[in-house]
Amino acid sequence: ETGVTQSPTHLIKTRGQQVTLRCSSQSGHNTVSWYQQALGQGPQFIFQYYREEENGRGNFPPRFSGLQFPNYSSELNVNALELDDSALYLCASSLGRGLSSYEQYFGPGTRLTVT
């Protein structure tokens, strides 16, 4: 069974640029959630995709957008980067149905630095 993978591991961008982060869900999982973790804080929910449809969104501006593909992998896009976007971006996958849908498994994250 393959775990959740994310790419790239680290990324440095300049304020105003755009970035795309990628996530491959755990084998058999059809739901992907994205979280932002600022230094010294707990993860904050950005949005979730279930079977290629957005299934909930946290308190993040529209310049944060996403996609889920037919193989359930996902992308997080951030436009017009701001300094405060510097954080660890985490992807979590889960099953969409049943008791096991509660369990979310996280990838290693992408460390984004905006200068």
Partner 1 sequence: QQQVKQSPQSLIVQKGGISIINCAYENTAFDYFPWYQQFPGKGPALLIAIRPDVSEKKEGRFTISFNKSAKQFSLHIMDSQPGDSATYFCAASVSGNTPLVFGKGTRLSVIA
Instruction: Summarize as ranges the residues that interact with partner 1 (CB under 8 A).
Output: 4, 6, 31, 33, 35, 40-45, 48, 50, 55-56, 58, 90, 92, 94-99, 101-109
CA 112 to CA 87: how far, in whole Å? Answer: 6
Residue closer to partner 1, measured from CB, 8 or 16: 8
- 83 vs 102, beta carbon nearer partner 1: 102
Using the minimum distance from each CB to partner 1, give the nearer residue, 61 or 96.
96
Q: How far is the CB of 76 from partner 1 (least distance, A)?
A: 14
**Of 72, 37, 43, residue with least CA distance to 55:** 72
Cα distance between residue 9 and residue 110, in whole Å:
5
Q: How far is the CB of 3 from partner 1 (least distance, A)?
A: 10
For partner 1, which is the closer residue by CB, 84 or 102? 102
Question: DSSP for 61-94?
Answer: -TTEEEEE-TTS-EEEEE-S--GGG-EEEEEEEE
